[in-house]
Structure 1
Amino acid sequence: MSGGWNTIESDAGVFTYLIEKLGVKDVQFDELITLEPDELRRLGDIYGVIFLFKYPTGERPSETPRDGTFDYEAANDIFFAAQTIQNACGTQALLSVLLNKDGEVDIGNELRDFKAFSAEFPPDLRGETLSNSDLIREVHNSFARSSPFIDETQRAATEDDDVYHFIAYTSINGKLYELDGLQPAPISHGDCTVPDFPDKVIPVLQRRIARYPPSEIRFNLLACVRDLRIRAREIGDQEALEAEERKRTEWLWENALRRHNFVGFVGELLKVVVKDKLAQGEDAYNKWVEESNAKTRKRAEARRHQAGADDG
């Protein structure tokens, strides 16, 4: 196992099974399609949201946030960790929600021990402790997509790259906090009770998205909520329960695929196909190659036309 942290996807199935492997019980993530308070409320008990956005690689933290105010005292009273390593921000964001909901949520013995151990640390040391946790790193890396071509732990981003960053929003002690490990402290967005959270967080997210050009659509929002299967059982909604169980089955299948490298399989399959075509004779083989090349050129041309249309 590499000592580094690999990139994980902003995916409800990845995050849900990641926290289950860390020992969290009766919690899941659900993707939000629209920025509407009612969409959040329909999910029942909400613990927080995880927001993924394109991060300007040249941007540096400032003394004053563009929205809200830094709460340096809260950095010592709640779980807030500085991000000290690349690629860990997804797991750090979900822990920023869950470790501040201990009591509302059963976070399990491992995370509870980690929180207690790091409780008296300042944010930078807390971040180092998180980054050096073998358990959290290994669980995180187990959900990284397999790639035979690059080692994502060895490559630093440049200003020409698209870099994406995860941050968390949650209600703690009657305040709406933005928890971003690249900032010097939690950012307070004012008073916010747990029932108020959907109405308070959506305008903050809308203001953040408004900073980007209208053409930028690469955002993702995941809600951290009580397991929706439990809610469906409590209200006797069999249809919703079956839908959630199907979703879990799909997540398990997708997570299994992420862990496998299919390049070897594709290579062996190609050998079999080529052998079969050669057995049909040289003319049949050459015709097959020409047809394949023509289809490839046609697809490439279609992509160029589509890209031109999008740019217009």
Structure 2
Amino acid sequence: MSGGWNTIESDAGVFTSLVENLGASNLQFEELLTLEPSELSSLQPLYGVIFLFKYPTDTPYTSSETPLDGTFDHDAASRIFFAAQTIQNACATQALLSVVLNKTDEVDIGEKLGEFREFTIELPPEFRGEALSNSDLIRETHNSFARSSPFADETAPKGGESEDVFHFIAYSAINGKLYELDGLQPAPISHGECTMENFPEKVVDVLQRRIARYEATEIRFNLLAMCRDLRVRAREFGDMELLEREERKRKDWLFENALRRHNFVGFAGEVLKGVVESKMKDGKVDEWVAESLERRKKAEQARRAGQDVEMSG
């Protein structure tokens, strides 16, 4: 199997299933649609958030000596789990682990992740990153949630404009401080004193300052909160409506994740074969092909007409 890492989506169902498949229990991710502390507070106990943002390639992301916000806490790297990102496309799972591996007092992370943490916690961040990127369990679990890509365009021109790059980082309250955990940075970034109780207010303040550094037209951000499985709360309080809603959500996530993994090329080919066989049986293949060519011709004429209008305008 290839040792590469594939990109995965910033999706609550993907991240929830990912952390469960890694062996952790009673965890859930929820997508946040607003930057309101009250929305985060409603999910308590809240273990952390994962933030997806466009990685700036035209301006410095941060200084190696001083971050744009907060302060580097080099000493914390030896006390908490912080890993340097050593491989491309691993940042989603790395951000997830940056939260869950620092919450072992509150979360059951399972045997495999427990062994990984025990093995790496005494290592420096760069070796933790190497251990993470070389973990078959973590890489294979991560890649199992990548979208199927059956076609590769080898004719695409090289050296053209690069696509926008996006990056995942984590924020969590650890040992009484709010930490920004970004494997591309030299150390955890401290944003001051913080408890689990006031984490929603503190992290929203930090995120608002971060977003404000972008142009007003940039809206491609995503925020996922890691909280306790909401079904646990529903059972504790006897909230059958919440329990039913959460169980239905899990079924939807299971279906959506199955679709992500599935390669539909074979299915589409069988459908096309069936259509062709049906047309041949009816003796209408030539008519069908002629109709298709006529529709394509009209579509091309309409496209050219639109271009002419645009140029004359």
Whether the TM-score (by the shorter chain) exceeds 0.5 is yes
How far off is 1:271 after superposition? Answer: 3.1
Q: Is the 8 A contact 1:28 1:227 kept in 2?
A: yes
Written as runs of structure 1 = structure 2, the 5 A alignment for 1:208-287 is 208-277=210-279, 279-280=283-284, 282-287=286-291
Quick one: which amino acid aligns to residue 106 of structure 2? E
- Give the greater-gyration-radius structure (CA): 2
Give 1:99's aligned residue.
101
Give 1:64's aligned residue.
66
Bigger mean CA offset, 280-289 vs 254-263 = 280-289
Bigger mean CA offset, 258-267 vs 221-230 = 258-267
TM-score by length of 1: 0.89
Quick one: which amino acid aligns to residue 280 of structure 1? K
Give 1:137's aligned residue.
139
Quick one: which amino acid aligns to residue 46 of structure 1? L
How far off is 1:280 after superposition? Answer: 2.2
Give 1:2's aligned residue.
2
Distance in 1 (alpha carbons) for counterparts of 2:163 and 2:274: 38
Give 1:15's aligned residue.
15
Quick one: which amino acid aligns to residue 225 of structure 2? A
Q: Is the 8 A contact 1:175 1:189 kept in 2?
A: yes
Count of aligned positions: 299
Distance in 1 (alpha carbons) for counterparts of 2:48 and 2:253: 21
Q: Is the 8 A contact 1:61 1:182 kept in 2?
A: no
Q: Is the 8 A contact 1:29 1:224 kept in 2?
A: yes
Is 1:32 the counterpart of 2:27? The answer is no
**Unaligned regions of 5+ residues in structure 1, if any?**
none
Secondary structure in structure 2 of the residue aligned to 1:287: helix
**Unaligned regions of 5+ residues in structure 2, if any?**
none
Quick one: which amino acid aligns to residue 290 of structure 1? E
Distance in 2 (alpha carbons) for counterparts of 1:133 and 1:66: 32
Q: 1:97 to 1:239 in 2, by over 3 A?
A: same
Is 1:290 the counterpart of 2:291? The answer is no
Distance in 1 (alpha carbons) for counterparts of 2:90 and 2:165: 13
Quick one: which amino acid aligns to residue 283 of structure 1? E
Q: 1:272 to 1:221 in 2, by over 3 A?
A: same
Distance in 2 (alpha carbons) for counterparts of 1:297 and 1:104: 64
Distance in 1 (alpha carbons) for counterparts of 2:238 and 2:28: 19
Q: Is the 8 A contact 1:277 1:285 kept in 2?
A: no
Q: Is the 8 A contact 1:61 1:184 kept in 2?
A: no
